[in-house]
């Protein structure tokens, strides 16, 4: 039976058009809207792309770590999504250009700033860049071992990979924790270097994991629409939905814990970050974020059916991706001013990067087998029942 | 076969045989069809037509109720019943309520899940399910799969049930007689349990009491009691003067008692009464006046109160022309600072009460010097 692998997809030419049109806007925004706005957008998309890729890689690593069987049939999907880390490397390297513009800690004045002088070395351009390069390289390593190895196994059918991956996964968890924390601290909270929050890395991790899960769920459902991934059932979807449910709560827990402690202590260098986000239009966005990232998905996913039913799961997955985008926007854009910026530069960036991400993801979804056919546990995974 | 029967059990050798037999047993409509297997069999819930457990819904509802309860309690305590400002946060700060709301949500939800499952759905206390005393139970816990047709009423036809199960492929049939004693909790059992708990409590309490009394070394958990704290109205060697309670720092002002009218009475003349003249303000003023001023100044303010004779000094006649012409501020000043033999009332009256009584004095004066328009207003 020959399946049209592209059924129900946007035509590729549209996506290329979006990328081209977006690229024009992106270049234009540098000239017309100023470097600050350009770089804020660039960093925003770098963080989104990176969290999506890394979140997906985390799913893969987690499954190896706990030796999960249920997820073997769908493991190829987060593996493919994790390859988004590859385009995130050039995007991240270009983002280094934002450091002198957006990051006060990397400016020469920082050496004399009473709060920044002590961390000036850490925040300085060379060390900052070096950390980013190391983080990206470590991600590539994880990608190479976990995803590359799995792809190779399709042909070799060698169960040795499973043992190797299971041994590598714990090490990768440590690497992952380091990388997520570094990227969160450097690229996001580095925008306001006077502010610090110990739990910030965990907060960004929660968002990254959620975005990876939501993208995985969407891709699985999408491939199923095309008649692919045969054998993946409501039971598998249920687990994805359960993860989504658990981690929306986790995200909210971390987000609120961070807020509550700062609100209680009311220390000027800590609350200022929230004060900005609790005034004017940002206040509204904060409330909307809480609604979209917690309240709505919580009630949407709380029943058993909503996790099993493809239609409802798809809606929640879209919602979670949107909420993650809003979350990162909420983290980054307040540096541009009290009124949230959203007009043609943001739209151009969205066209450019969304088009690019979709093109990449679509390409990835066509490559190789849809399931890790060489994995000895595939059958067991297919037989998984709740 | 015995007269009354609890259920008829049919033993099967494989899960597949069991699954195949389920539709036939259900179609016969003789009683409730139940399966007993050594492990969970996929798809058996649907085959048996088990209804979705209502537990999830119960947990959700109770969880939400828990959140609302916790919020309500905290809000009522800290914003309505005894509004208190802690750590500079307003009285109704919802942020501080969230951890407790979370805890209570979890508490309500888990208790509902646990107790609801045990008592509502599994019908505890249910001592010894009759199937546990069947012959087939050994097989059920090992390698046999049992389908039971359980009696729903007195009219249960156990012979027909046995035939149906046999026809469906059961290799063995066992009729399970109804248990001679109710498997449910009896009042006799409840009484004995409660009595036992009561006696245990009494014994434990007495043992604790005498243990700590006779062997003070064993005093349990006295850390709270022995903490180095300052007790109100008690001596303490922490401070040089040996007092547990200290004078407030000079210049300390209690909330709502900001010093006003600190200058001379003439300077206070320009103070403006901040209160609106509403019935509540007059009611408050009347209360304060009756409690605090009437004994000296008399019910109508004419300077003849019940204490006047005993007091010696003559309280001012507030109806005198001099006081009719007084600005509010000067009356206020007299209340705060006192005047000659009239003591200061500042320690007893809040800002609001002071001004309210000023208004009330004005009302008394007006009442004694009513004009024609006032009558019109009063009789309208």
Spell out the domain ranges in chain A: 25-371
Question: The tokens 């890395």 sit on which residue?
Answer: A201
Q: Which of A364, A316, A363 is nearest to A12 (CA)?
A: A363
Q: Which of A147, A217, A143 is nearest to A179 (CA)?
A: A143
Same domain, B163 and B39: yes
Q: Are A89 and A82 in contact (CB under 8 A)?
A: no
Same domain, B49 and B170: yes
Domain presence at residue B196 = no
Domain presence at residue B183 = no
Same domain, B31 and B151: yes
pLDDT tens digits in sequence order for chain A, 386 residues long: 334 444 446 788 888 988 999 999 988 988 888 899 999 999 999 999 999 999 999 999 999 999 999 999 999 999 999 999 999 999 999 999 999 999 988 888 888 888 888 888 888 899 999 999 999 999 999 999 999 999 999 888 888 999 999 999 999 999 999 999 999 999 999 999 888 899 999 999 999 999 999 999 999 999 999 888 888 888 899 999 999 999 999 999 999 999 999 999 888 888 999 999 999 899 999 999 999 999 999 999 998 888 888 999 999 999 999 999 999 999 999 999 888 888 898 999 999 999 999 999 998 888 888 888 888 898 888 888 87
Same domain, B168 and B42: yes
Any chain A CB within 8 A of the CB of B46? no
CA A56, CA A240: separation in Å to the nearest integer? 12
- pTM, rounded to two decimals: 0.71
Pick the last residue of a domain from B177, B209, B230.
Answer: B177
Please tell me the distance in Å from B113's CA to the nearest CA on chain A. Answer: 15
Domain presence at residue B226 = no
Please tell me the distance in Å from A375's CA to the nearest CA on chain B. Answer: 24
Binning pLDDT at 50, 70 and 90, where does residue B183 land? low
Pick the last residue of a domain from B177, B192, B224.
Answer: B177
Q: Do A263 and B95 touch (CB under 8 A)?
A: yes
Q: What is the ipTM of this complex?
A: 0.82
Mutate to test the interface with A, among B19, B41, B42, B46 (most CBs of A within 10 A): B42
CA A355, CA A101: separation in Å to the nearest integer? 27
| Count of other CB atoms within 10 angstroms of residue A350 | 19
| Count of other CB atoms within 10 angstroms of residue A93 | 14
Domain presence at residue B50 = yes
Pick the last residue of a domain from B149, B177, B205.
Answer: B177
Which residue does chain B place closest to A386, by CA atoms?
B42
Q: Do B95 and A260 touch (CB under 8 A)?
A: yes
Domain presence at residue B90 = yes
Q: Which residues of A touch B88 (CB under 8 A)?
A: 266
Same domain, B169 and B275: no
Q: Which two tokens stand for residue A328?
A: 């990162």
Q: Which residues of A touch B60 (CB under 8 A)?
A: 302
Ranges of H-type helices in chain B: 15-27, 44-48, 55-75, 94-115, 137-140, 158-167, 187-214, 223-226, 265-268, 279-288, 294-297, 308-311, 321-324, 328-337, 351-368, 372-379
Domain presence at residue B219 = no
CATH of the domain at B287: 1.10.760.10
Q: Which residues of B touch A385 (CB under 8 A)?
A: 42-43
Total structural domains in chain B?
A: 2
Same domain, B151 and B26: yes
- DSSP-based three-state secondary structure for A66: coil
Domain presence at residue B107 = yes
Domain presence at residue B138 = yes
Domain hosting B345: range is 265-379
């Amino acid at each position: 039976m020959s399946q049209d692998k592209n059924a129900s997809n946007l035509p590729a030419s549209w996506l290329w058009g979006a990328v081209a049109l977006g690229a024009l806007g992106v270049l234009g925004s540098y000239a017309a809207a100023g470097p600050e706005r350009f770089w804020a957008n660039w960093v925003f998309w770098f963080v989104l792309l990176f969290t999506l890729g890394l979140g997906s890689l985390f799913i893969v690593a987690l499954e190896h770590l706990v030796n999960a069987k249920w997820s073997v049939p769908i493991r190829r999907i987060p593996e493919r999504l994790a390859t988004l880390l590859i385009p995130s490397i050039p995007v991240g390297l270009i983002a280094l250009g934002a450091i002198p513009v957006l990051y006060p800690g990397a400016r020469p004045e920082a050496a004399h700033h009473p709060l920044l002088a002590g961390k000036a070395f850490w925040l300085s351009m060379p060390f900052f860049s070096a950390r980013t390069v190391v983080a990206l390289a470590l991600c590539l390593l994880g990608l190479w071992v976990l995803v590359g190895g799995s792809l190779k196994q399709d042909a070799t059918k060698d169960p040795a990979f499973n043992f190797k991956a299971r041994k590598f996964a714990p090490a990768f968890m440590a690497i992952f924790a380091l990388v997520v924390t570094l990227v969160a601290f450097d690229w996001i909270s580095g925008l306001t270097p006077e502010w610090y929050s110990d739990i910030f890395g965990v907060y960004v991790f929660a968002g990254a994991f959620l975005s990876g899960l939501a993208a995985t769920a969407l891709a699985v459902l999408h491939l199923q629409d095309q008649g692919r991934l045969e054998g993946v059932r409501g039971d598998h979807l249920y687990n994805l939905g359960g993860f989504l449910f658990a981690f929306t709560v986790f995200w909210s827990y971390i987000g609120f814990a961070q807020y509550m402690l700062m609100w209680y202590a009311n220390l000027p260098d800590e609350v200022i970050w929230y004060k900005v986000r609790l005034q004017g239009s940002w206040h509204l966005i904060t409330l909307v974020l809480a609604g979209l990232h917690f309240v709505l998905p919580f009630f949407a996913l709380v029943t058993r059916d909503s996790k099993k039913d493809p239609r409802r799961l798809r809606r929640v997955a879209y919602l979670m991706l949107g909420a993650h985008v809003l979350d990162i926007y909420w983290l980054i854009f307040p540096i541009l001013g009290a009124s949230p910026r959203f007009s043609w530069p943001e739209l151009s960036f969205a066209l450019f990067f969304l088009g690019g991400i979709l093109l990449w993801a679509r390409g990835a979804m066509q490559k190789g087998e849809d399931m890790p056919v060489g994995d000895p546990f595939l059958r067991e995974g297919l037989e998984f029942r709740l | 076969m015995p007269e009354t029967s609890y259920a008829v059990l049919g033993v099967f050798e494989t899960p597949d045989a069991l699954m195949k037999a389920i539709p036939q047993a259900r179609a016969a409509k003789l009683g409730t069809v139940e399966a007993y297997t050594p492990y969970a069999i996929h798809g058996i819930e649907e085959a048996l037509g088990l209804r979705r457990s209502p537990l999830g819904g119960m947990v959700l509802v109770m969880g939400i109720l828990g959140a609302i309860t916790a919020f309500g309690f905290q809000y009522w305590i800290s914003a309505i019943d005894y509004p208190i400002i802690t750590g500079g946060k307003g009285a109704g700060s919802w942020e501080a309520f969230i951890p407790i709301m979370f805890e209570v949500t979890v508490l309500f939800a888990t208790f509902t899940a646990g107790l609801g499952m045990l008592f509502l759905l599994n019908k505890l206390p249910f001592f010894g399910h009759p199937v546990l005393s069947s012959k087939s139970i050994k097989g059920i816990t090992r390698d046999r799969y049992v389908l039971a047709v359980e009696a729903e009423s007195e009219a249960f036809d156990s012979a027909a049930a046995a035939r149906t199960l046999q026809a469906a492929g059961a290799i063995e049939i066992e009729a399970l007689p109804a248990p001679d004693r109710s498997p449910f909790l009896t009042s006799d059992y409840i009484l004995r349990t409660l009595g036992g708990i009561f006696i245990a409590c009494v014994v434990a309490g007495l043992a604790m009491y005498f243990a700590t009394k006779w062997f003070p070394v064993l005093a349990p958990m006295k850390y709270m009691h022995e903490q180095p704290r300052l007790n109100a109205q008690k001596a303490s060697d922490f401070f040089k003067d040996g007092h547990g309670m200290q004078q407030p720092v000079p210049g300390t002002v209690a909330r709502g008692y900001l010093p006003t009218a600190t200058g001379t009475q003439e300077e206070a003349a320009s103070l403006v009464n901040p209160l609106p003249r509403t019935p509540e303000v007059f009611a408050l003023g009347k209360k304060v006046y009756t409690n605090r001023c009437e004994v000296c100044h008399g019910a109508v303010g004419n300077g003849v109160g019940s204490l006047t004779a005993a007091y010696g000094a003559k309280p001012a006649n507030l109806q005198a022309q001099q006081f009719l012409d007084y600005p509010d501020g000067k009356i206020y000043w007299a209340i705060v600072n006192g005047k000659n033999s009239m003591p200061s009332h500042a320690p007893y009256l809040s800002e609001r009460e002071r001004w309210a009584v000023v208004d009330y004095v004005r009302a008394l004066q007006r009442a004694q010097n009513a004009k024609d328009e006032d009558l019109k207003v009063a009789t309208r």
